[in-house]
């Protein structure tokens, strides 16, 4: 199997004169690389095939792992369409002996061992390749970029302080919520927001959603971001994210009566949408979560 290394430069410190970086290396095979960047860039197999001058079937076989090797000319073209420098696509021959990589690996192993000895575990955040998750008793305590992780580690090691957690936890902002697609699906993520872990006790249960349309004006406008708590039921008159008939989810005020559920737009030019108890089951009508906060950028 041909193995590639995907580099992510992480800022450690910055002065007026110079920024200091450490390189994080994520080891992945070709199918993982293609699928990750395909989803992030919203590409199709056909887009990649045209750029690499191969058939769509060939790209599909790359992405499934059927073909593990490729010509160097294909690597250059693949790097271009996936928007990574060709230098980040390097074969496995002797590369792991790079001293910077070995130093980083040893550092992360030492940090991971330290946390394990103190009842924590260090996991990888699938939302954000620059984040590490600190987990205790199966629950996410918080998320760190590498710089924050190193600072927290030094404070905990030298002073026994495990409470100086970063000020915020990163959650994904989605462009849409689709039926049959996990909320955490990479292809839906368009941005990130930060939550205060003191206010949000289980931040892993939240996601952001970009508002699309004017049905919730004057309270929510197009391109606003709402913070949503994942839950399958809400109270009467709550604003919720609701999935109807397998289509993309919608943001509406929810009211209930003995006959069913009513999805109400705040904009008076849109009529309320009523669904009977039978339709709730057969369409179905599914509550994804409750809107708990509005984030608006000016």
Domains of the chain (ranges plus CATH)? 3-92 (1.10.260.40), 98-166 (no CATH), 171-295 (2.10.109.10)
Catalytic member of 131, 252, 253, 290: 252
DSSP 283: T
Contact between 176 and 212 under an 8 Å Cβ cutoff? The reply is yes
Other Cβ atoms within 10 Å of 135 Cβ, number: 16
Catalytic member of 131, 215, 265, 290: 215
Higher pLDDT, 87 or 54: 54
Question: Which single residue is written with the structure tokens 């809400």?
Answer: 234
Q: Is the peptide bond before 212 cis (omega within 30 degrees of 0)?
A: no
- pLDDT tops 90 at residue 132: no
If residue 133 lies in a helix (H) or strand (E), which one and from where to where? strand 132-136
β-partners of residue 225 are 210, 295
Instruction: Answer yes or no: 110 catalytic.
Output: no
Token duo for residue 193 = 């927001």
Question: Which single residue is written with the structure tokens 């409470």?
Answer: 163
Mean pLDDT of 138-145: 69
- pLDDT tops 90 at residue 79: no
Please provide the average confidence, as pLDDT, over all residues in the chain: 75
DSSP 87: G
- pLDDT tops 70 at residue 190: yes
Instruction: Answer yes or no: 215 catalytic.
Output: yes
Token duo for residue 82 = 């996936």
Contact between 151 and 165 under an 8 Å Cβ cutoff? The reply is no
C-alpha separations of 191 from 46, 83, 145 in Å: 26, 18, 16
Contact between 189 and 257 under an 8 Å Cβ cutoff? The reply is no
How far apart are alpha carbons 169 and 267 in whole angstroms?
33
Q: Encode pLDDT of 39-57 as tens digits.
A: 877 888 899 989 888 888 8
Is the pTM of the predicted complex or chain greater than 0.85?
no
pLDDT category, 60, cuts 50, 70, 90? Answer: confident
């Amino acid at each position: 199997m041909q193995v590639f290394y995907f580099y992510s430069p992480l800022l450690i410190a910055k002065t007026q004169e110079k920024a200091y970086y450490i390189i994080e290396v994520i080891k992945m095979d070709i199918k993982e690389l293609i699928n990750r960047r395909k989803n992030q860039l919203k590409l199709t197999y056909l887009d990649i095939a045209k750029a690499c001058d191969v058939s769509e079937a060939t790209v599909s076989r790359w992405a499934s792992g059927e073909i593990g090797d490729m010509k160097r000319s294909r690597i250059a073209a693949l790097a271009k369409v996936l928007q990574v420098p060709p230098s980040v696509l390097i074969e496995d021959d002797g590369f792991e002996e790079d001293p910077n990589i070995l130093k980083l690996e040893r550092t992360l192993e030492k940090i991971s061992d330290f946390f394990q000895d103190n009842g924590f575990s260090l996991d990888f955040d699938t939302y954000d390749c620059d984040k590490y998750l600190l987990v205790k008793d199966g629950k996410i305590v918080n998320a760190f970029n590498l710089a924050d992780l190193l600072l927290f580690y030094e404070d905990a090691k030298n002073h026994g302080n495990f409470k100086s957690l970063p000020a915020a936890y990163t959650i994904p902002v989605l462009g849409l919520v689709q039926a049959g697609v996990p909320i955490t699906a990479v292809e839906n993520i368009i941005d990130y927001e930060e939550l205060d872990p003191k206010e949000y006790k289980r931040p892993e249960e939240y996601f952001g959603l970009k508002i699309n349309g004017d049905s919730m004006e004057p309270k929510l406008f197009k391109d606003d971001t709402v913070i949503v708590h994942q839950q399958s039921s809400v109270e009467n008159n709550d604003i919720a994210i609701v999935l109807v008939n397998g289509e993309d989810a919608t943001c509406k005020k929810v009211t209930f009566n003995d006959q069913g559920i009513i999805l109400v737009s705040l904009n008076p030019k849109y009529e309320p949408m009523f669904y009977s108890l039978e339709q709730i089951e057969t369409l179905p009508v599914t509550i994804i979560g409750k809107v708990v906060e509005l984030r608006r950028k000016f």
